[in-house]
Amino acid sequence: MAAEAPTIPLLTPYKMGKFNLSYSKSFLDYQRVVLAPLTRQRSYGNVPQPHAILYYSQRASEGGLLIAEATGVSDTAQGYKDTPGIWTKEQVEAWKPIVDGVHAKGGTFFCQIWHVGRVSNRVELYVLDSVQIDTRFDGGGNQVEVLSCSKSKVFFINKNEKDFQPNGQAPVSSTDKPFTAQVDANGIDFSQYTPPRRLRTDEIPQIVNDFRLAARNAIEAGFDGVEIHGAHGYLIDQFMKDQVNDRTDQYGGSLENRCRFALEIVEAVANEIGADKVGIRLSPFAEYIQAADSNPAALGLYIAESLNKFGILYCHVVAPRMKAAFWEKSECPNSLLPIRKAFRGTFLVAGGYNREDGNNAIAENHADLVVYGRFFLANPDLPKRFKLNAPLNKYNRDTFYTPDPVVGYTDYPFLEETA
């Protein structure tokens, strides 16, 4: 095993509002290393499952902050198979033992609440050679089509499967502009989406209320707070980015108008559960899911300054280098520093950080906390490995979004198991 290293910036104490991210009795100081909200698609039927208890508790530690995977605020908020929700009593009850597991380890747990907007009603597209299509019936009597190709890869398309939207309705957005088919997060498959329906002005308060109720439900489930998902091309981002938002009402046009929806949600959630329990995630520089802005630096600065009037706990921002894909870094002249200086609460950064990057971000006061996704996924004891400068497990992208409750989920080894 690697020799113990001196204390590093990532593992120095930090107090985030009333949350003291430090240890008292444990050997390790797990303070500034945060688990990112990671979609895992293992919440069958949009209900959190018991296997998530182990997954999150494996990554919890005394004083550590975890952010739960993106969790739908309503039945119109869904866009991916088997992602969790928090709009029903069943879902709230299912979250409770998962939250309890994190708290039993001394961790702090926030629930990320989201609405996907136009990223819904997905239809899978595959480019295959020598395609042969056969119609069959599965064991449940459902008609399915079996596609086979020269590479022996087979896909089942269940024609009786419901859309992600209730009653097969169109997904909602700031716009009615569709976007073109794109490569999925696995880097292999392509997806296209149903053209969205532009939300009427009088419908927007209902979406704001959905976020408010979801925040209330999260607190009922035992979460310490919520993170509003305002990033990565989903509904809130679809309002903020001028390459998507083409509205002519009070929610479109100027920077102030485009940010109005996001700030109304922040205000509603803060009023419901307390601003000291609210964070938000933003990605002004990203162009995920064809959601770009002509002046992302101005967008990021405006929203950061506007958040201050609500006194929320933290702002979690994705680095400019993560512009076009979740897993690819790119050279970028932009910096998060102006946003960092403008926001008066705790500042979290994410986006391909490694141990060295994270230490530098803390040491140079560019961030208070650093958020890790893939590295934390594959290394449930990531803070310990960072402390000891120990080797990291390699993550397996092929199992990021598979439904298996163990493989690629809770089977990554701890350091003691690899020594």
User: Which pLDDT score, from 0 to 100, does residue 132 have?
Assistant: 52
Kind and range of the H or E run holding 163: none
Kindly indicate the confidence band of residue 29, based on its pLDDT and cuts at 50, 70 and 90: low
Tokens 């509002």 belong to 17
pLDDT reading at 138 higher than 50 = yes
On whether residue 212 sits in a domain, the answer given is yes
CA–CA dist 75, 271 (Å, integer): 23
CA–CA dist 254, 169 (Å, integer): 30
On whether residue 415 sits in a domain, the answer given is no
* Inter-residue contact 115 to 207 (CB < 8 Å): yes
CA–CA dist 70, 72 (Å, integer): 7
Closest alpha carbon to 84 in 107, 57, 109, 114: 114
Q: Report how many helices (DSSP H) and strands (DSSP E) the chain contains, helices first.
A: 11, 19
CA–CA dist 210, 84 (Å, integer): 15
On whether residue 395 sits in a domain, the answer given is no
Average pLDDT, the chain: 87
User: Which pLDDT score, from 0 to 100, does residue 124 have?
Assistant: 45
Question: Strand (E) positions, 91-189?
Answer: 108-114, 123-125, 132-137, 143-148, 155-158, 172-173, 182-183
Domain that holds residue 195: 9-121+131-388
User: Which pLDDT score, from 0 to 100, does residue 7 have?
Assistant: 84
User: Which pLDDT score, from 0 to 100, does residue 180 have?
Assistant: 76
pLDDT reading at 349 higher than 70 = yes
More confident residue, 193 or 146: 193
pLDDT in tens, 210-219: 999 999 999 9
Which CATH number is 222's domain given? 3.20.20.70
Sign, CA dihedral 78-409-113-234, equals: negative
On whether residue 394 sits in a domain, the answer given is no
Q: Which long-range contacts (CB under 8 A, 24 or more apart) does 398-401 make?
A: 398/186, 400/40, 400/185, 400/186, 401/39, 401/40, 401/41, 401/185, 401/186
On whether residue 406 sits in a domain, the answer given is no
Q: Which of 80, 234, 288, 395 is catalytic?
A: 234
pTM, 2 dp = 0.88
Across the range 268-286, mean pLDDT stands at: 98
Kindly indicate the confidence band of residue 324, based on its pLDDT and cuts at 50, 70 and 90: low
Q: What is the 3-state secondary structure of 182-202?
A: EECCCCCCEEECCCCEECCHH
CA–CA dist 32, 359 (Å, integer): 10
CA 290 from chain centre, in angstroms, equals 17
Structure tokens at 348: 């979290």
CA–CA dist 293, 299 (Å, integer): 8
User: Which pLDDT score, from 0 to 100, does residue 20 have?
Assistant: 83
pLDDT in tens, 59-72: 999 889 999 999 99
User: Which pLDDT score, from 0 to 100, does residue 121 have?
Assistant: 80
φ, ψ of residue 19 in degrees (nearest 5): -95, 115
* Inter-residue contact 43 to 83 (CB < 8 Å): yes
On whether residue 163 sits in a domain, the answer given is yes
Across the range 6-35, mean pLDDT stands at: 78
Kindly indicate the confidence band of residue 151, based on its pLDDT and cuts at 50, 70 and 90: very low
On whether residue 364 sits in a domain, the answer given is yes
CA 18 from chain centre, in angstroms, equals 23
Q: Where are the alpha helices (DSSP H) in 159-221?
A: 204-220
Give the total number of structural domains in the chain.
Answer: 1
On whether residue 404 sits in a domain, the answer given is no
Across the range 127-137, mean pLDDT stands at: 49
Q: Which amino acid is located at 399 in the chain?
A: T
CA dihedral 136, 140, 142, 145 (to 10 degrees): -40
Q: Which amino acid is located at 236 in the chain?
A: I
> Could you give the percent of the chain with pLDDT greater than 90?
74
User: Which pLDDT score, from 0 to 100, does residue 193 have?
Assistant: 81
Closest alpha carbon to 37 in 56, 23, 12, 61: 56
Q: Is 14 a catalytic residue?
A: no
Cβ count within 10 A of residue 208:
17
